[in-house]
């Protein structure tokens, strides 16, 4: 039987109501439990907070107590320090008071002594015044006159003593300088092991026979003309047996001609084409020798950085001679001597060697360029960017300029040593005798000269003067005038020492 709808609705509503009432009961029950739990939590939190509060209060009280103790300790320490400082200040005040009292006592004592000293000074001045008056009365001179007389005597004595001291000092300095200079020069010459005599340029060509002269001349002279044109020298063929002479101002051309002619004579084939080929080969060989000689000279001396063209000019000096002395060997010797002396004197050794090697470089082209070899050398060195010190040393090595540096003076001295030592240069007997005669003639030309003697191979001239006509200052002036005239009128290697001797003799007899 079907259930009626109203009954179903009632049942559903009853179920819903029962469910609602049950859920409400549960919710209220949960709320009551939650409220109870919340009150418990709050109570526990309040208890915990109260406990933390009490702990915080206790900690704060402990911290305050600790800080109070520290403050009291620090306050106590500061009070003790202040008390200690106060005691020190009191002690210092007491010490200062005692010192002030001592100073006051000393001032009183000093015042008394000062008064005593002042009284003694016044008494002494009075005694001095009386003594001065008595001295003036006895001597007949015033105080100012006596002072001037005494000062004059003292001044004369001092001047005399100073003059004696200056004279002794000059004599000692001169002796020491001469001894030192002799030692340095002797040591430099000993350490510089150069040849004493250098070979001169050979200009005579030996021939195997006189028939070779005709072959050198050639048909209608074509061979000799071709040879002279290509070499720029004169070939002299005269009656000298088995020899021909090469003549020319250029030593390099003369060397090329000598070398080429020797090879032509050795080969035997002499004609213009062969002459041209041989001369060209000889020229190349001589140029190679020149370069090698210049490089070898720089290497031997220990000088580096010289311009290649200057090295070539130095190498040309191998074929240049002066008074029979080979100029290249002379330049190497001057470089060694200047370097050794510079080392002894503490000067610039490299600069001295460089200037010594280049000092005669002008002689390499003096037959091509007008002017003295010194000026030519300076211009060549300036052209190839040598230093001003080297230029000055080159310009001053013959006295054309006054040496302003120690290196320039050493180069000048080394040049004189190399040229003047025995055997370095040759000269004919006739020229040697003429030079000695000219020296004596120059000395005798001056008034007051009694006799003159040229000694030491013409490197010194001693002059005896008449003592009644030449006094001591006049002797000094005469030596200087004779030296200037010798420099002006004579040509000579090295230097000439002029010694003027004035002797006065007084004779008397005891009867």
User: Domain ends where: 420, 452, 467?
Assistant: 420
Residue 355 lies in a domain: yes
The verdict on 409 and 444 lying in the same domain is: no
- The total number of structural domains in the chain stands at 2
Where do the DSSP E strands lie in 59-211?
204-206
The verdict on 305 and 374 lying in the same domain is: yes
Backbone angles phi, psi at 385, to 5 degrees: 60, 45
Contact residues for 243 (Cβ-Cβ < 8 A; gap 6+): 204, 205, 206, 207
The verdict on 222 and 360 lying in the same domain is: yes
The verdict on 416 and 437 lying in the same domain is: no
Residue 137 lies in a domain: no
The verdict on 448 and 312 lying in the same domain is: no
User: Domain ends where: 398, 420, 442?
Assistant: 420
Cβ atoms of 300 and 332 within 8 Å: the answer is yes
The verdict on 347 and 249 lying in the same domain is: yes
Helix or strand or coil: residue 449?
A: strand
User: Domain ends where: 420, 448, 482?
Assistant: 420
Residue 155 lies in a domain: no
CATH number of domain containing 480 = 3.30.300.20
List residues bridging with 321 in a β-sheet.
326
Q: Measured between alpha carbons, how far is 159 from 157 in angstroms, rounded to an integer?
A: 6
The verdict on 403 and 434 lying in the same domain is: no
Residue 403 lies in a domain: yes
Residue 238 lies in a domain: yes
The verdict on 316 and 379 lying in the same domain is: yes
Tens digits of pLDDT across the chain (511 residues): 555 677 778 788 888 888 778 787 888 888 888 888 888 888 888 888 888 888 888 988 888 999 989 899 899 999 999 999 999 999 999 999 999 999 999 999 999 899 999 999 888 888 888 887 877 777 667 777 777 877 888 888 787 777 778 777 777 777 776 666 656 655 555 555 444 443 444 467 777 777 777 878 888 888 888 888 888 888 787 777 778 888 877 778 888 888 888 888 888 788 888 888 888 888 888 888 888 888 888 888 888 888 888 888 888 888 887 766 788 888 898 888 888 888 888 888 899 899 888 888 888 887 777 888 888 988 988 988 889 998 998 888 887 788 888 888 888 888 887 776 554 454 545 666 788 888 889 989 998 898 998 887 677 889 999 888 888 888 888 888 898 888 888 876 667 888 999 887 777 777 6
CATH number of domain containing 209 = 1.10.3210
**Domain hosting residue 241, numbered range:** 204-420
Residue 197 lies in a domain: no
Helix or strand or coil: residue 499?
A: strand
The verdict on 392 and 473 lying in the same domain is: no
pTM value is: 0.48
The verdict on 319 and 439 lying in the same domain is: no
Q: Measured between alpha carbons, how far is 466 from 475 in angstroms, rounded to an integer?
A: 10
The verdict on 345 and 438 lying in the same domain is: no
Q: Measured between alpha carbons, how far is 333 from 320 in angstroms, rounded to an integer?
A: 15
Residue 484 lies in a domain: yes
Residue 167 lies in a domain: no
The verdict on 325 and 437 lying in the same domain is: no
């Amino acid at each position: 039987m079907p259930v009626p709808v109203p009954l179903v609705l009632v049942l559903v509503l009853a179920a819903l109501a029962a469910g609602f009432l049950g859920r409400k009961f549960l919710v209220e029950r949960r709320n009551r439990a939650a409220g109870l739990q919340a009150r418990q939590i709050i109570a526990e939190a309040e208890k915990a907070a109260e406990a933390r509060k009490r702990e915080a209060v206790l900690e704060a009280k402990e911290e305050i107590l600790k800080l109070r103790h520290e403050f009291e300790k620090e306050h106590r320490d500061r009070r003790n320090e202040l008390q200690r400082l106060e005691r020190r200040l009191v002690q210092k005040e007491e010490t200062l008071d005692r010192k002030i009292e001592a100073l006051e006592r000393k001032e009183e004592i000093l015042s008394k002594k000062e008064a005593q000293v002042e009284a003694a000074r016044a008494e002494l001045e009075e005694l001095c015044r009386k003594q001065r008056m008595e001295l003036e009365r006895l001597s007949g001179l015033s105080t100012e006159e006596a002072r001037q007389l005494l000062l004059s005597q003292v001044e004369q004595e001092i001047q005399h003593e100073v003059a004696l001291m200056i004279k002794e000092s000059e004599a000692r300095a001169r002796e020491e300088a001469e001894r030192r200079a002799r030692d340095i020069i002797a040591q430099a010459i000993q350490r510089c092991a150069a040849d004493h005599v250098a070979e001169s340029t050979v200009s005579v060509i030996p021939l195997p026979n006189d028939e070779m002269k005709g072959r050198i001349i050639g048909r209608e002279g074509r061979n000799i003309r071709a040879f002279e044109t290509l070499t720029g020298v004169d070939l002299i063929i005269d009656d000298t047996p088995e020899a021909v002479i090469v003549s020319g101002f250029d030593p390099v051309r003369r060397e090329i001609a000598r070398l080429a002619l020797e090879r032509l004579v050795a080969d035997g084939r002499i004609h213009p084409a062969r002459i041209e080929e041989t001369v060209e080969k000889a020229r190349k060989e001589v140029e190679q020798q020149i370069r090698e000689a210049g490089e070898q000279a720089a290497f031997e001396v220990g000088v580096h950085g010289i311009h290649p063209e200057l090295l070539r000019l130095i190498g040309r000096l191998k074929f240049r001679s002066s008074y029979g002395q080979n100029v290249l060997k002379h330049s190497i010797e001057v470089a060694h001597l200047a370097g050794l002396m510079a080392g002894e004197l503490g000067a610039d050794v490299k600069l001295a060697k460089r200037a010594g090697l280049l000092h005669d470089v002008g002689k390499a082209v003096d037959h091509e360029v007008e002017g003295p070899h010194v000026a030519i050398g300076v211009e060549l060195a300036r052209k190839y960017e040598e230093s001003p010190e080297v230029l000055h040393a080159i310009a001053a090595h013959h006295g054309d300029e006054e040496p302003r540096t120690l290196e320039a003076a050493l180069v000048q001295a080394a040049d004189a040593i190399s040229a003047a030592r025995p055997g370095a240069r040759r000269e004919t007997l006739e020229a040697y005798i003429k030079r000695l005669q000219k020296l004596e003639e120059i000395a005798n030309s001056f008034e007051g000269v009694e006799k003159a003697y040229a000694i030491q191979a013409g490197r010194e001239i001693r002059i005896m003067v008449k003592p009644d006509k030449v006094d001591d200052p006049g002797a000094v002036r005469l030596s200087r005038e004779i030296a200037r005239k010798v420099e002006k009128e004579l040509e000579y290697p090295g230097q000439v020492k002029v010694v003027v001797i004035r002797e006065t003799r007084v004779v008397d007899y005891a009867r």
